[in-house]
Amino acid sequence: KDIDECQQGNLCINGQCKNTEGSFRCTCGQGYQLSAAKDQCEDIDECQHHHLCSNG
């Protein structure tokens, strides 16, 4: 039987947790990116990405 890791909490902070067979997957909304550990979404500093701040 598959365990829903998303129900255990503390996963995909600032994002949405999707249960998969034997694991989970995080999806991040606009302004966030997946962490290196792939277990949470981190805020993107848009001003460090010049192509995102082309007018300022």
Say which CATH number the domain at 10 has. 2.10.25.10
Would you say residue 13 lies in a domain? yes
Q: Is 53 part of a structural domain of the chain?
A: no
Residue 31 counted as domain residue: yes
Residue 56 inside a domain? The answer is no
Give how many domains the chain has, as a whole number. 1
In this structure, are residues 46 and 52 in contact, taking their beta carbons and an 8 Å threshold? yes
42/38 Cα distance (integer angstroms): 10
Q: Is the pLDDT of residue 2 over 60?
A: yes
Count the helix, strand and coil residues of the chain and give each as a percent rounded to the nearest 5. Answer: 20, 35, 45
Q: What is the pLDDT of residues 4-40, one digit of tens each?
A: 999 988 899 999 999 999 999 999 999 999 999 999 9
Q: What is the DSSP letter of 51?
A: G
The answer to whether position 9 is within a domain reads yes
